[in-house]
Amino acid sequence: MVTTCGLSGETVTLERINPFLAMAGHDEDRSRPWSVVFVQIAIGSCPSHQRKDTVMKLNHINLYSHDTEADRTMFEQYFGLRTLVVRGIKMAVLQDNDGLVLIVNHFDNKLEGFDYPRQFDILHIGFIQKSREDVDAIYERLSADGWEVQAPRNAHGAWSFYFKAKGGYFIEVTTLTPVRPEEAYQGTLSVSYTHLTLPTILLV
């Protein structure tokens, strides 16, 4: 059971909270009831229930993976995500402490020629850290465990490094990139999200 927002309240199925999980679960040769996984939400305790003007927040990413089990282990070991569902080698569903649901899938029969770019700056997901020391700590752990990781460096105003997941896509670990005043968007929309650069074909 997963508890969100820190308090127990109404108990609902994961399918109700994240209906896209139900869609992801119907891709293969057998369906599995998502009602076996429960989420407790505290009505009134989350900011989205307290503020009527809250903008939507990106909370779901679905990535093709060459090795879902290796990726699932990597996300748990180095980035603190927890596993919600595993369906053999075909799919793993994970969630972070902020509610973002990440699915890694191996639906290779549906690729239609798709493959990940070889350049890390074209397509990657990212984990923003609070400090350079935090970036360095993750780099040192990955390096010690045998991952091929480029050394952290100053890039786009931040301290960051990239590495390639076993699934084929790149991951960036970085401090927050400052926005120069001349680049700042002057509109009124404010969106909070975990750093990523993904083509829309990967978002469900």
- pLDDT tens digits, residue range 151-197? 999 988 899 999 999 999 999 999 998 888 888 888 765 444 445 44
**Of 117, 115, 65, 112, residue with least CA distance to 93:** 65
- pLDDT tens digits, residue range 89-103? 999 999 999 999 999
Read off the pTM.
0.65
In one-letter notation, the amino acid at residue 64 is Y
Domains of the chain: 1-54 (no CATH), 55-202 (3.10.180.10)
**Of 80, 63, 176, 192, residue with least CA distance to 123:** 63
Of the two residues 55 and 52, the one the predictor is more confident about is 55
The pLDDT-based confidence of 115 (bands split at 50, 70, 90) is confident
Q: Residue 191's pLDDT is what?
A: 45
Q: Residue 53's pLDDT is what?
A: 65
Mean per-residue pLDDT of the chain: 75
CA separation for the pair 124, 76 (Å, rounded): 18
Per-residue pLDDT at 54 exceeds 50: yes
Per-residue pLDDT at 203 exceeds 60: no
- pLDDT tens digits, residue range 79-92? 999 999 999 999 99
In one-letter notation, the amino acid at residue 129 is Q
The token pair that represents 59 in the structure block: 């909370």
What SS3 string covers 116-147? CCCCCCCCEEEEEECCHHHHHHHHHHHHHCCC
CB 159 within 8 A of CB 132: yes
The pLDDT-based confidence of 24 (bands split at 50, 70, 90) is very low
Q: What element of type H or E holds 16?
A: helix 14-17
Per-residue pLDDT at 129 exceeds 60: yes
The pLDDT-based confidence of 61 (bands split at 50, 70, 90) is very high
